[in-house]
A and B are shown apart, each in its own frame.
Chain A
């Protein structure tokens, strides 16, 4: 996996940000331990960074989890129709915070980075399995929901 950077640190930051921002408690997990990715439709969010180092950060989580995430962040229960936009916004915001904290932890607080606006796409479990075969994702579990993260030191098309 060329260009891949510090998976464990990224996963640790993701767990900490989910707890601080949305009161969601996760445990680090290993994708090789038979985590079922077929049970969900996923949302993928991607942010590119440029500056002292160029690269990108990705977070992928089930749509149902993102709805819980939005509810926790907003402090209100959402009806199904409201979930569509807000769950994507919630995951975008979480990845924004993860990316900011991760880059500081990795490169120090004197380094300057410009982050792109987060881009979100819905992906099937099959598409996710293909990506997992190509890249070494970090993973944590909230209940049975897998949350995957990846950082690359290059702006690859992924």
Chain B
């Protein structure tokens, strides 16, 4: 099964880096969509089939946390797993985010191996691409 992934970050360059890294993992990737903030991400989620959201926290217009709060209130979106990709490494902050429904946390800098492993765990992937 190929997974559609939404990458949310206000920096186009960072989105490019994350997308390149995703392509280097063993995951079966379908479509990768991009959004520049939480509000754009919600629009994208309402109009596309997305299996996983990878999101930054600090963004203009709508932050990653605000986006997750809106998703939690929406019966059509609250099952979509959100993984935060951020530089914020506070254990206290990560615990707070998990209480809000975030499935996992990827701390920057990341490698294809580390990002792939976490996504596989979140999606329960059993058919990752072989080498």
Residue positions of A touching B, CB distance < 8 A: 17, 20-21, 70, 73-75, 85-86, 89-90, 92-93, 96-97, 99-101, 103-104, 109-117
Interface class of chain A by DSSP = helix
The number of chain B residues touching the other chain, given as a range, is 20 to 34
B75 within 8 A of A: no
Measured between beta carbons, the chain B residues less than 8 angstroms from A101 are 87, 89
Contact across chains for A112 and B20 when beta carbons are under 8 A apart: no
Contact across chains for B88 and A93 when beta carbons are under 8 A apart: no
Contact across chains for B87 and A73 when beta carbons are under 8 A apart: no
B58 within 8 A of A: yes
Contact across chains for B13 and A100 when beta carbons are under 8 A apart: no
Contact across chains for B109 and A75 when beta carbons are under 8 A apart: no
Contact across chains for B58 and A109 when beta carbons are under 8 A apart: no
B60 within 8 A of A: yes
Q: Can you list 28 A-B pairs, Cβ within 8 angstroms, ordered by A?
A: A20-B109, A21-B109, A73-B13, A74-B13, A74-B17, A75-B20, A85-B13, A89-B13, A93-B13, A93-B14, A93-B108, A96-B87, A97-B109, A100-B87, A100-B107, A101-B89, A103-B89, A104-B90, A109-B91, A110-B91, A110-B92, A111-B92, A112-B90, A112-B92, A115-B87, A115-B88, A116-B58, A117-B10
Contacting A at CB under 8 A, from B1-44, are: 10-14, 16-17, 20
Contact across chains for A17 and B14 when beta carbons are under 8 A apart: no
Contacting A at CB under 8 A, from B39-95, are: 58, 60, 86-93
Q: A17-B109, A74-B20, A100-B87 are in contact. Are A86 and B13 (CB under 8 A)?
A: yes
Shortest Cβ distance from residue B62 to the other chain A in the assembled complex, whole angstroms: 14
Contact of A70 among B10, B13, B87, B88 (CB under 8 A): B13
Contact across chains for B11 and A92 when beta carbons are under 8 A apart: yes
Measured between beta carbons, the chain B residues less than 8 angstroms from A93 are 11, 13-14, 17, 108
Contact across chains for B16 and A74 when beta carbons are under 8 A apart: yes
Contact across chains for B90 and A113 when beta carbons are under 8 A apart: yes
A116 to B10, CA, bound (A): 13
A118 to B12, CA, bound (A): 14
Measured between beta carbons, the chain B residues less than 8 angstroms from A111 are 90, 92
Beyond A17-B109, A109-B91, A117-B60, 10 extra complex contacts between A and B, CB < 8 Å: A74-B20, A86-B13, A89-B14, A100-B86, A100-B107, A104-B89, A111-B92, A112-B92, A115-B88, A117-B10
Contact across chains for A90 and B92 when beta carbons are under 8 A apart: no
